[in-house]
Amino acid sequence: MAAVVNNETCVACGACVDACPCGAIEVQDVAVVSDECAGCGACVDACPTGAITVE
Ligand code: SF4
Ligand code: SF4
């Protein structure tokens, strides 16, 4: 399980970066998830546009 960002709905706000306990997200043009992702889902709850799912 890992977080997946929808590049069409991500607005690069950075909320998921702050929510991630693993430091697995950075914001470039959109949020980008690294291999450090543990699949916890905290970023899903933090995202205001529903742009992240855990798959
Ligand atoms: S699922 Fe958890 S570990 Fe993975 S990017 Fe989101 S907050 Fe970070
Ligand atoms: S919280 Fe959602 S909209 Fe904001 S940077 Fe992360 S994925 Fe994009």
Residue 13 has a pLDDT of: 98
Closest atom, ligand 2, to C-alpha of 43:
1
Question: Looking at the domain 3-54, which fold is it?
Answer: Alpha-Beta Plaits (3.30.70)
Distance CA 28, CA 25 (A): 10
Residue 38 confidence (pLDDT): 98
Q: Say if residues 35 and 4 touch (Cβ distance below 8 Å).
A: no
Distance CA 10, CA 50 (A): 8
**List of the chain residues with pLDDT < 50:** none
Question: Alpha-carbon distance 39 to 55, whole Å?
Answer: 8
Ligand 2 atom 8 nearest Cα: 10
Return the SS3 of 4: strand
- Distance CA(35)–CA(13), nearest Å, equals 21
Q: Please report which ligand is nearest the Cα atom of 31.
A: 2
Give the distance (Å) from ligand 1 centre to CA of residue 50: 14
Q: Which amino acid is at 31?
A: A
